[in-house]
Amino acid sequence: MSESIKPGTDNKPAGTYHEVGPRGGSVPGARIVHIQKGDRLPPTQKSGNKWTKN
């Protein structure tokens, strides 16, 4: 499993990120976002959720 990253974190590698729960589990209706180099990860749907790189 990939490292969980807090929303708002910037300077992460470009790529696709998937929303996960606070402990890294799946989230119903999880968001999938694609960021470019230097972009900031967007907010998640629920406080406590995080992002993981696919």
Is this model's pTM higher than 0.85 or not? yes
**What sign has the CA pseudo-torsion 3, 34, 26, 20?**
positive
As given in the structure block, the two tokens for residue 38 are 């230097």
Taking only the tens of pLDDT, the chain with its 54 residues reads 578 999 999 999 999 999 999 999 999 999 999 999 989 999 999 999 999 998
